[in-house]
Structure 1
C-alpha cells in the first residue's frame, strides 16, 4: 500500500461529499451508503460493496463520475477498482471513527450470542414451513428509481415488523418484483428474528385452504393458522375479487392481527381502488397503512438487471446485445430475464458465442412489442383505432403535446384501455409514453363524466368500444 493511502481516503471523502451535492438524497443514500473505501495503491483506489449487483450498478451509473472527481481533486489519473466484501464489513468501515470502538463493544456480544441460536438447516426448514422461497432476498433485488421506495419500505418493515408501516400494500404490474420483495421480508425476519412466526401465502392458497377447512369442518384450525402468526404475507390479493366468503374471513383475520400489532403485507396488480367486487370495509383495511407502487424499470435499471443475471449464470454477452434487449423490453423484469435466458440457452447448448444478428433473430418480436399477448386486446390496437377515428397518429396520442385536438382522443384511448382490458392503470400509463397511473385514473373519470352529460359524446365512445370488440390483435 502506498504512502498516499490516508490522503486518498481524504480525497474519497471529499469525492463522496461532492457527489452527494449533485444527486437526489434518496439516490445517493441508496447506492453510496452501500459501498465503502477499502484501500488504495499507487494511483489506485479500491472501493467495496456487499454484492456484485451493487457494484455493477455503481459502476454502470457512477464510475466515470467517481474517477473524474477523484482525478480532479488529486491532480493524478486515478484508477478505481471494486471488490466484494461482506455487508457487516461494509457497515464496520462506514462507522464514524470516533464511535467505532464503542459500537463494536456494544454490538459484538449480541452478534456472538444471536448467531448460534439457530442453525442454517433449521432456518431453511422454517422458511419452507412458512411457504417462503429462500432464494428471494434483499441482496439479489436490483434497485432502481422504479422500485427504491418499495424496496426501502419492505426493508424497514423487515427490520421492525409491526411498527410504523402496518399494513403495507405493494402494487404494480406482473413481473416487477412484488413476490420477490414479499419473500425477502419473510426471509429477512426469519434470519434475524427467528422467534417471530412468519406465514406467506398467495390469495389463491388462502382461498383454497379456507374452502377446504369448511368442507372438512376444520375452520377453527384454519383461523388459528393465520391468526396466530406475527407476520402475515399475502400475495396477489386481486384474486379475491368476487369471493365474498373468503373476503369475510380475511376481514376478521385482518382485524385480529391488526389489533394485536402483528405485521401484514399484501401485494396486488393494481391500486385497491381499481379492484372490482371487493367489499368496502376490506378495501378500507388494505388502504389503512402504507401503499407503495412498483413501476416498470427504466433503461439503466434494465441494464443492471441483465448484467446481474449474466453474472449469476456465469455467462457473458456483448454490450450491444444487452443494449438491444434493455432498449426494447420495457415491460417488466420477467420479460427481461426470459429474453436473456433464451440467448444464454442457445449459446450454451450449441457451444457458440451469440452474435448481435443472431440475438435479434432469436428474440424475434420482443415482449414490449408483443404487448402482453395474454390480453384479448392490446393497448397499441386501442390507440391505433382511436387515432384513426380522430385522424391523429398513435405517436401523437402517446406523446407529450397537450393540444385540445389530442387531449380528448388520448383520454378516450386511456378510458377504453381501462374499460375493456384487464391492464392496470400502471401498465396503461406505461404504454401511453410512461405516464403516471394517476393520469390514467383522471382520464377515466373525465370521460365517464362527459358521457353522462353528453349523449352524442357517449355514442361516439360506445361506437369505438363496439369497433374494438370486433378487432383482432
Structure 2
C-alpha cells in the first residue's frame, strides 16, 4: 500500500478522523485508548466489495492486547469516523507495531523444562491454523500493495471531500453493517492470546510475591492531587544564557537531592519555571524511584488548606503533605498575605527539610522581594539555592521556535524567517508558542510558507503584546516596592537618604527605559526643574562605578543590585 506523504490534505483528514472518533466514544475513553502509544496514518487500499481503490485509516498501536480491545469495543465508531473523515468508501485497519521485548526472567532449570512442556502441549494444536492465517494475510497484503500503489492518496481524499456532504448520512446508514467489514491485521489477530489460555500456574514465584498486597500497618495516607507533567522533561528544556544557571541547579538537584534544598526558581512569566518543576517531578519519579512526589500550585495548596479547615480534617491534610518523598510548589507568590496558609506552609517545609526531603519552589520574584511573605518563610525558602531565570534571549527564542514549528506545523519553515520572527517577539516562551500556532494556521490558509509581512499582518497584536514598554508610573511603583516606600513616597518633598536616593535612581531608570524628556521626568517625580533629572544620570553612574549603597537601614543595597531588582519587577509587571 502507498502511505501518506505528510501533505496538508492528509493531515487534515487525520485530524477529522480523530475529532469524529473523540465525539463518538467520549473524551475519557479516547484519552485512555487512543493517546498513549497510538498514532494514525492513511494508506491507499482496495474495497473488499468491488475491488476499487479507497482510503484506509491505519491505527498503529504498540501492543496486541490494545489492538484486540480496540477492534472488539470500537469497531462501529472507528468505521463511522473513517467514513466521516475520508468518505463513505473509507475503511480502517489496526496494525501492531513491533516493540522491543524485555529480557526474560531467569528461571531454574526445572522451571524451564516444565514451562517448555506446557507451551508445547498448548500450542501444538494451533500452529497449523496460525500458519495458514499468516500465509493468507501475507498474500492479501501483497495484492493490495500492488493495486493500491497505482492510485493517488491525494485524489482519493479530494473525491471524499467532494462527497463530504453525504458522509454523515452514509455513516449513519452503515453503522449496522460496519462490524462485518472492518479490516483487521490478520497477523496481529493471530498473535493475540485467547482469554481462556492464561493459567495461574504459568506465574513465577517472584510474580506471585510482587502481587501480594501490602500490610495494612504500613499504609500511607493518600497523596494530594498532583499536577500532570505534560511530557515536560529535562531533555526537552532548551537552555541558553538566560536559564543555564537554573538548569544546572535542576540537574544537581536530581543527582544529589539533599545537597541544595529547598531549590527556589524565580523569573518573569514564560521563562520555563513550570517546565523545570514538571521535569524535576518526572525525574524524581523515574530516575530516583520516588513514589510519593507531589507537584502542585500554591493556589491548590491554599484551596486544600481552606477546605480542610472548613471540613475539620486539617490533621489528615497535613499528614498527606508531610509524608511525601518530594514536594514541588509553583507560583509561591500566591501565598503572600495569607497568614494562616503561610504558617502551615512553613511548618510543612520545616518538617520535610528536617527529614532531608527535596523541596522545589518557583515564583516571579526572589523570596526576599515578595511582599506579604513573612520573614521566616522567605528565609527558609532562600536557605537552599535561589536561581534566577531571565527573559529568553534571541538565540533561545529561535531554537524554541524551531522546535515548536517542527511539532505544530504541517509544513517546514525557513530558518531565516524564524530568526527574523524571533527578533520581533519578547522573551516569553508562551508568546513563541502563539507565533508557532499562527505560522501553522497561515500554512493551512495559504497552502505554503507565510512571509514575514503576512505574519506581521495577522499576528501584529501578538507581536506587540510580547513587549510591554515601561512607563513613568510603572518605574515609580517598582522602585517603591524595591525599597519598601509608600506608593507616592518618591513625589514627596522629603530629602532624607531613604527617599532621595531611590528617587534619583527612578529618574535615571525613567530616562533609560522611556522616551520621556527631562522636563517630564522631573515634573512626574515632584521636581521643579529638569536639571534635577539631568544630574540624576551622573549621580547613578558614579554610584555604579564606586559600588555605593543606595537607601538607608535594612533596605540599603548597591546600585547595581537595586537596578537588577527594579528591572526584574518591570518584567514581571
TM interval, shorter chain, is 0.5 to 0.7
Q: What is the match of residue 159 of structure 1?
A: 255
| 1:352 positional shift | 3.3
Contact residue 292 and residue 325 of structure 2 kept, 8 A: yes
Aligned-pair Cα RMSD in Å: 3.7
- In 1, the alpha carbon distance for the partners of 2:225 and 2:567 equals 45
| 1:148 positional shift | 1.0
Q: What is the match of residue 233 of structure 1?
A: 328
Q: What is the match of residue 439 of structure 1?
A: 563
Q: What is the match of residue 537 of structure 2?
A: 406
Q: Deviations over 1:184-225 (max 9, x none)?
A: 000011112334410011000000000000011110111011
Contact residue 295 and residue 328 of structure 2 kept, 8 A: yes
1:363 aligns with 2:459: yes
Q: What is the match of residue 319 of structure 1?
A: 415
Match for 1:244 among 333, 339, 359?
A: 339
Match for 1:389 among 519, 525, 537?
A: 519
- How do 1:12-411 and structure 2 match up within 5 A? 130-161=226-257, 163-314=258-409, 315-367=411-463, 371-372=467-468, 383-384=513-514, 386-389=516-519, 404=535, 406-407=537-538
Distance 1:391 1:237, change over 3 A: closer
- In 1, the alpha carbon distance for the partners of 2:376 and 2:224 equals 33
Residue segments in structure 1 that go unaligned for 5+ positions in a row:
1-112, 119-125, 393-402, 412-434, 445-473
Residue segments in structure 2 that go unaligned for 5+ positions in a row:
1-205, 212-221, 476-508, 523-533, 543-558, 569-573
Name the TM-score, length of structure 2 as normaliser. Answer: 0.45
User: What is the SS of the residue equivalent to 1:185?
Assistant: helix
Distance 1:369 1:356, change over 3 A: same
Q: Deviations over 1:122-169 (max 9, x none)?
A: xxxx999632323111111101111111111112212332x1110110
Q: What is the match of residue 92 of structure 1?
A: none
- In 1, the alpha carbon distance for the partners of 2:299 and 2:232 equals 20
- In 2, the alpha carbon distance for the partners of 1:443 and 1:265 equals 25
Contact residue 127 and residue 190 of structure 1 kept, 8 A: no
Q: What is the match of residue 55 of structure 2?
A: none
Q: What is the match of residue 66 of structure 1?
A: none
Distance 1:328 1:207, change over 3 A: same
| 1:172 positional shift | 0.2
Distance 1:225 1:360, change over 3 A: same
Distance 1:127 1:328, change over 3 A: farther
User: What is the SS of the residue equivalent to 1:138?
Assistant: coil
Contact residue 227 and residue 257 of structure 1 kept, 8 A: yes
| 1:311 positional shift | 1.9
| 1:317 positional shift | 1.7
